[in-house]
Amino acid sequence: MSTNPPANPPEAASKNKYARNIDDAFEEASKLAGSNLAPTEFYEKFLTATLNAIDAPAGVVWLRTPQGFLQIACQVNLDKVGLDSKRGGRPCHNEILRQVFQSQPARPVMVEPQGRLQGMSAEPGAVPPANLTDYYALFAPIIQPDKTALGLLEVFHEPSLDARAYQTFLQYTVQMAGYASQYHAFSNARQSSGLERVFTQVESFAKQIHGSLNPTEVAYHVANEGRRIIECDRLCVGVRHGKRPTVEAVSGADVVEKASTHVRRMRELFDAVLQYGDKLVYKGAKDEGLPPHLSAALDNYLNESQPKLLIVQPIRDEREKDNGKPARSILLLESFNPPEASEPMVAKLDIVAKHAASALYNAWDVQRIPFRFVWSPISKLQEVLGGKARLYVGLGLAAATLISVAMVLVPYPLKMQAKGEFLPKHTMYVFPTTEGVVRRILYKPGDRVKEGSTLVELFNSELQQKLTGAESEILGATNTISGVERALADKSRASEEMSQYLITKGKAEATASTKRGYVDNLRKTNNASDTTGAFRALAPRVEVGVPGDWQVLSDDKRDELLNRTVKMSEPLMRLGAVDGPWRVELKIPQRNIGHIARAFATDGLHKKDAANKKYLDVDVLLTNRPDAKFPGRLYDEDMSKQAVPNRDDHNESEPIIQAPVRVNLDEFGPDGQIPAELRVAGVEAHIRVRCGNHAMGYSLFHGVWEWFYEKVVFFF
């Protein structure tokens, strides 16, 4: 009996058998992949060959629906593997399908009997991914040309072989899935090769890229849809908004990371090609005749990306020809495994570029329209209404309605206009005590004057005569008294004579006393220091509590007044307490009195201060500072109750009401105070008195209504 082992052990014979069957399956799958079979017939033959080669009892081909779900395209004995024999078996199996199909990148998976899926990065579902059957489950993705999963090939095998055999079966399943991928690629290529298919794609592409006027959206449509038409690996779009282009879209990328090195190198390449002004084609070898700046930009980009075919093509719309500037848009095509004959790909790029040029230019042209966020909704509204005429009528009616509603319902302050004079609160005119000739003016405008100071020296000849005559009478009376006293000293005179002397003395003393009082009164009344007829105009006393001294407010009148006789009614000088409070001497026209009086009489239209006094807010605009307004208050108690004529430059009278406006109150705060440099007496002030809130229409057009009522309604 021989002890040598047999020449072909059972394991070796089984391995050789599977190897021959696998080779036969590869040959048959290769023929099926290049055939013109319909998908249903192809998968029936394909799945049968796949299972027979490795004696697999069951298998399924899963394909993605347009909605993104997996459905069975073909199956063999799926109901016999026991997916429904255990509770939760099918949901766990479906979770494996979901995670394997959604994994990026797509890769094959093997799950042992009663085992769980391990190592997948997909988001876990509500149930665990597990194989609850008694079979090995082998999954291999069916890949599209864009590297995304189209479907899955699933094979079930009994666990009766050596564990290492199932790794071989998994590799076999992957290769068979590759033949299924080839079948879809060849089928798509055959469909794309037809002219009708190409025309349909181009027409759909043109409609899609012209369906938006947003440059970014148009660029993404050009990149993604154009890549499908051209059948390249990557298509990028750049648009020149100013002097330099920007990368607007990259096919397959949702967002362009403008700070990334790849995008920056692409932008530099775009800029160099636009300056070059012609198409750049790279097929694995660089043209040595390229300009230095273009050659450097190409080298930098090739360091980031290594395509075997690279085409950078500027695209120019007909509207931008012969303008001497670089093209507005540019395309970049990349293919990492291009076909040997790249001419069809270049021809399709030209077709895509032709349609993309006008779409990108239109989007750029609309994007640069100023206030586009305003005109875009208006254009949509015009389309809804059905034309420009209806749009204009609708906008007019809407505007009129809104304005009418606003005029009636929106409250707006009623403001009464008036003018006034900005002055210190305490002012005084200095008049001569009597008519006289101005001899000397002691102060000029702006000088500080203390109370009692002599302002103007005058002379009155009549006053001189009165004082001189009175002095003469006093002197005569004095002499009479002296003579009488000498006569009375003689005691030898008769008593009757002595009595007569006493009577004469009494009359002389009375005359002297009367005349002295008369002289003192004249001198005091006229501020005269002697009997020469000279008298003075003095500064009056400053009121108690008012800080500082008087200041001369009037202009210099020396040339006008010196050596001229002035009457008692003619002012010589105007003084003001500039260190005290200031106010605006307001002159309210008669047509505005009623509104102001109504505001004071109606609750809610006026305000009250801490002392419960009524007032209206006032805006003050000084002519020496026309770019700023200051707050003020018009009090009811300060208003005059009598209208007086107002004399203007044409000597025309118009009744007015005088009222002071209080300014620089503590309640206004620092920002509401009129600066000291603007406190110039006599400056004209423009005033707006706020008479409370009324309907906007009445506040703005009350003058029109009053004129209409006076001229039309009142007439009838």
Q: Is residue 392 part of a domain?
A: no
Does residue 4 have a pLDDT over 50?
Answer: no
Token pair 């000849």 is at which residue? 461
How many Å apart are CA 469 and CA 193, to the nearest integer? 140
How many Å apart are CA 100 and CA 83, to the nearest integer? 18
**HEC-encoded secondary structure of 221-287:** HHHHHHHHHHCCCEEEEEEECCCCEEEEEECCCCCCCCCCHHHHHHHHHHHHHHHHCCCEEECCCCC
Q: Are residues 67 and 149 in the same domain?
A: yes
Q: Is residue 475 part of a domain?
A: yes
> What is the residue range of 605's domain?
581-713
Task: Please report, for the chain, how many H helices and E strands are present, in that order.
Answer: 16, 27
Q: Are residues 547 and 611 in the same domain?
A: no
Q: Are residues 333 and 299 in the same domain?
A: yes
The pTM (predicted TM-score) of the whole model is 0.48
Percent of the chain scoring above 70 in pLDDT: 93
First to last CA, the chain: 149
Residue 166 belongs to domain with CATH number: 3.30.450.40
Q: Are residues 361 and 462 in the same domain?
A: no
For residue 15, name the pLDDT band (cuts at 50, 70, 90): low
Q: Are 54 and 22 in contact (CB under 8 A)?
A: yes
Does residue 22 have a pLDDT over 60?
Answer: yes
Does residue 191 have a pLDDT over 80?
Answer: no
Q: Are residues 237 and 343 in the same domain?
A: yes
Of 184-198, 387-401, 461-475, least confident by mean pLDDT is 184-198
How many Å apart are CA 57 and CA 51, to the nearest integer? 7
What mean pLDDT is predicted for residues 456-478? 88
- What local confidence, expressed as pLDDT, does residue 167 receive? 86
Q: Is residue 68 part of a domain?
A: yes
Q: Are 81 and 111 in contact (CB under 8 A)?
A: no
Q: Are residues 103 and 59 in the same domain?
A: yes
For 480-628, strand residue ranges (E) read 534-538, 550-552, 565-566, 573-576, 582-589, 607-608, 614-622
Segment 672-715, tens digit of pLDDT: 999 988 888 888 999 999 999 999 999 999 888 888 888 888 88
Q: What is the residue-averaged pLDDT of the chain?
A: 85
- What local confidence, expressed as pLDDT, does residue 373 receive? 67
Segment 246-256, tens digit of pLDDT: 999 999 888 88
- What local confidence, expressed as pLDDT, does residue 11 receive? 52
What mean pLDDT is predicted for residues 270-281? 91
Q: Are residues 570 and 604 in the same domain?
A: no
Segment 123-151, tens digit of pLDDT: 566 788 888 888 888 888 988 877 888 88
**Domain end (from 336, 367, 398):** 367
Segment 372-407, tens digit of pLDDT: 667 778 877 887 888 888 888 888 999 999 999 999
Q: Are residues 545 and 596 in the same domain?
A: no
Q: Are 578 and 681 in contact (CB under 8 A)?
A: yes
Segment 220-240, tens digit of pLDDT: 999 999 999 888 999 999 998
Q: Is residue 4 part of a domain?
A: no
Q: Is residue 154 part of a domain?
A: yes
- What local confidence, expressed as pLDDT, does residue 600 receive? 92
Q: Is residue 676 part of a domain?
A: yes
How many Å apart are CA 363 and CA 358, to the nearest integer? 9
Say which residue, 117 or 460, is predicted with more confidence.
460
**Domain end (from 326, 352, 367):** 367
- Residue 190, CA atoms < 13 Å, CB-side half-sphere: 12
Q: Is residue 476 part of a domain?
A: yes
Segment 628-640, tens digit of pLDDT: 999 999 999 988 8
**Domain end (from 575, 610, 645):** 575
> Taking Cα atoms as reference points, which of 605, 583, 459 lies closest to residue 533?
459
Sheet of 436-441: strand order equals 534-538, 454-459, 436-441, 565-566
Segment 614-625, tens digit of pLDDT: 999 999 999 998
Does residue 423 have a pLDDT over 70?
Answer: yes
What DSSP state is assigned to residue 542? P
Q: Are residues 232 and 331 in the same domain?
A: yes
- What local confidence, expressed as pLDDT, does residue 125 receive? 63
- What local confidence, expressed as pLDDT, does residue 707 receive? 87
How many Å apart are CA 49 and CA 51, to the nearest integer? 6
Q: Can you read off the two tokens belonging to residue 709?
A: 């009522």
Q: Are residues 528 and 641 in the same domain?
A: no
For residue 467, name the pLDDT band (cuts at 50, 70, 90): confident
Q: Can you read off the two tokens belonging to residue 477?
A: 């009376």
- What local confidence, expressed as pLDDT, does residue 147 receive? 81
Percent of the chain scoring above 90 in pLDDT: 26
How many Å apart are CA 140 and CA 108, to the nearest integer? 4
- What local confidence, expressed as pLDDT, does residue 309 receive? 92
For residue 67, name the pLDDT band (cuts at 50, 70, 90): confident
Q: Are residues 220 and 180 in the same domain?
A: no
Does residue 194 have a pLDDT over 70?
Answer: no
What DSSP state is assigned to residue 550? E
Segment 509-564, tens digit of pLDDT: 888 889 888 888 888 888 888 888 898 889 888 877 777 788 898 888 888 889 99
Q: Is residue 149 part of a domain?
A: yes
Q: Are residues 227 and 318 in the same domain?
A: yes
Tally the domains of the chain: 4
